[in-house]
Amino acid sequence: WEGGGAMAAVSAAGPAGLYGLGTGGLVLLGLVPGAPSCPHGPALLFAKTSQGKEEGRRFYACSACRDRKDCNFFQWEDEKVSETRLAAREEYNRNCQPPFTHRQNVERYKNFILLPLSKRRFCQECQQLLLPAEWENHSGHQFLCDISTVQLQLPSQLLYPLENKKTNAQYLFADRSCQFLLDLIINLGFRRVLSVGTPRLHEMIQSKASQEEDFRVRSLLLDIDFRYSQFYTEDEFCHYNMFNHHFFGGEAAHETCRKFLYQDSGERVIMVADPPFGGLVEALASSFKKLMSLWKETEKEDHDNQEMPVFWIFPYFFEARILEFFPSFTMMDYQVDYDNHALYKHGKTGRRQSPVRIFTNLTPSTIVLPAEEGYRFCTICQRYVSSGNQHCEMCNSCTSKDGRQWKHCVLCQKCVKPSWFHCNNCNRCILQNHTCEKADAGCFVCGKTGHKRSTCPSLART
């Protein structure tokens, strides 16, 4: 195993996830007790696979970074690590932590807002609010001046988005989508939002709370982007890794989260997560389950047989994978738009339609989608669907996943993408100019002959 992070190989599989890798893939075995730690918390255990079977030595790699350049942690599962190396590793992990602690950043912020406008500077290179005594150290750097209170309330606009796809993949909600989410949350009666990897939603809530007196919603941001600790207190932001459920702030931060989830006086909580799309679905699901059980533990009598309400924002082609872990979830047709993602902007603006959707365990009929964007209610499916999504009599459901009108294939006995045709060779619908799957080669997923990836029984669990 060399070059490229473990997750790089996995995410390269794209929509099909791990299974799509065929030969030479990697499989995530998960977070195991006693796993070694890198600067991003406990590492995850992986194994190489060949023809769908685990093969070779298992190893640990960083949970958060899918690029070796961002974190090159690697250790064989059975590797003996000497005391000296362990000590060196611990020191390295400590040294990788940010220059200021969250506590220090909160103190710095308090001092910063006392400064007159003319002395409020933000270093763009270090992505840091500067106190006058520090100007000297940043003399060669680009900085912004006269940082206003409004700017401080909108840090996602002050900070540049960490777009590097392999690690942060920070794609910020377009204002319309963010507003839609917040309105939806409020109309559903929620008063608390656990914002997991959704700094812009958090910021919209926080800034409204400070401006509008009767605005009652509160938010706690959990994100790996520590730059946000400059703008929020320990009750508003936790430095968190959603691939291994690691709170960098230790037990105190964990407790903050637990307290936030404890709903007193009927203040209902919802979790909204928008993880990097290259991320491993099973690692995310396992962290989300931990957050959900943290909620469940808080008020036992009330939560019998209930799940913490969740919006998991993710592309539609992960539907099967998400439902595998959360059978109670449904995918909504709403297309989530982003500011800094050229591909994921809304169709109406002439761009491609966004493939990003909301997965939720709330009753679909309660998720009202905006009529002015063409969404309508299907009385048979009891959910809102996009304008192009026609109800199919044969399937008895609104079958489109991508917003375009799909067509029913009688041979496949299901609806398929409009661009697909039934191929008698492959015995399924597929793009017209495809190369037919060879009959003699084994299945891409499990390696057995007699069927293809598309009909592999090991995928039929959902």
Does 245 interact with ligand SAH (rule: CB under 6 A)? no
Question: What are the φ and ψ backbone dihedral angles of 130, each rounded to 5 degrees?
Answer: -110, 135
Contact yes or no for 267/191 (Cβ under 8 A): yes
12 lines the binding site for Zn ion (CB under 5 A)? no
Least distance between ligand SAH and beta carbon 161 (Å): 8
- Interface with Zn ion includes 144 (CB under 5 A)? no
CB of 270 to ligand SAH, least distance (A): 15
By rule CB under 5 A, what string of x and - marks binding of each residue 79-118 to Zn ion?
----------------------------------------
**What is the number of H-type helices and E-type strands within the chain?**
10, 25
Closest approach of ligand SAH to the CB of residue 396, in Å = 34
Q: Are 233 and 249 in contact (CB under 8 A)?
A: no
Residue 412 binds what, of ligand SAH, Zn ion, none (CB under 5 to 8 Å, by partner type)?
Zn ion
Binding of ligand SAH by 182 (CB under 6 A): no
Instruction: Report DSSP letters for 417-456, one per residue.
Output: -TTEEEETTTTEEEETTPPPPPSSSPPTTT--SSS-GGG-
Is the CB of 129 or the CB of 201 nearer to ligand SAH? Answer: 201
Length of the chain: 462
- Stretch touching ligand SAH by CB under 6 A, among 75-83, 89-97, 194-202, 390-398: 194-202
Amino acid at residue number 152: L
State the number of binding residues for ligand SAH (CB under 6 A): 22
**What are the CA-CA distances from residue 370 to residues 361, 404, 412 (Å)?**
20, 17, 33
CA distance 341 to 350: 14
Question: Residue 90 phi/psi, 5° resolution?
Answer: -60, -40
Under the criterion CB under 6 A, does residue 198 sit at the interface with ligand SAH?
yes
Q: Is 170 among the residues that bind ligand SAH (CB under 6 A)? A: yes
* Options 98-106, 163-171, 185-193, 257-265: segment touching ligand SAH (CB under 6 A): 163-171
H-assigned helices in 231-347: 250-261, 281-298, 319-325
Burial of 262 (0-12, 13-18, 19+ CB in 10 A): middle
Q: Is 249 in the site for ligand SAH (CB under 6 A)?
A: no
The answer to whether residue 241 forms part of the interface with ligand SAH (CB under 6 A) is yes
- Residues of the shown chain interacting with ligand SAH in the complex, contacts defined by CB under 6 A: 64, 168-173, 197-201, 223-225, 240-243, 274-276
- Residues of the shown chain interacting with Zn ion in the complex, contacts defined by CB under 5 A: 123, 125-126, 138, 141, 392, 394-395, 408-409, 411-412, 415, 422-423, 425-426, 429, 436
